[in-house]
Amino acid sequence: MKELKVQPIKNGTVIDHITSGMALKVLKILDIPKRDSNAVISILMNAPSKSTSVKDIVKIEGRELKPKEVDKIALISPTATINIIREYDVIEKRKVTLPNVVKDILKCENPNCISNKSGEPIEKKFNVISREPVMLKCWYCEREQSDVVSNILD
């Protein structure tokens, strides 16, 4: 059997153990390809995995993720790992973690929530009520979020 190998990256980030089917949502969160129009980006979807049977992987040449980007990834794929690559070596590997309170990452689905009113200098906050599956509740109006991905802020 022939195997197709993905070329290693010299410097950048590998997001591994992404929940199967979520790689394209990770790209959306990271504003790719618009933000990194010249970067080499590799996407593997439904790749075999020893721990979960299948997973997605995203490799981004020349970019390390900001903490808020990692928090956004944790919302849609709480099993993901972030690998920082320098000179072809993994210099740091960490699992994403979802904090107990998520701040300024999503908007509330409730259009009448005070956090959605223009002119209100209010931090958008959500309590994490479940990690598997991810369930959030608005700090202000207490509405549970049913569609986390669509409400992630740019």
What average pLDDT does the chain have?
A: 89
Band of pLDDT at residue 132, cut at 50, 70 and 90: confident
pLDDT of residue 137: 97
- Report the predicted TM-score, pTM, of the whole model to 2 decimal places: 0.83
Q: For the segment 1-35, what is each residue's pLDDT rounded down to a tens digit?
A: 666 677 889 999 999 999 999 999 999 888 887 76
pLDDT of residue 113: 94
Mean pLDDT to the nearest integer, 82-88: 96
Least confident of 45-49, 81-85, 92-96: 45-49
CB of 21 closer than 8 Å to CB of 45: yes
**Which domains, and CATH codes, for the chain?**
12-95 (3.30.70.140), 101-151 (2.30.30.20)
- How many C-alpha atoms does 47 have within 13 Å on its Cβ side? 19
Give the H/E segment covering residue 69.
Answer: helix 67-76
pLDDT of residue 120: 72
Quote the CA–CA distance of 40 and 21 in Å, as a whole number: 21
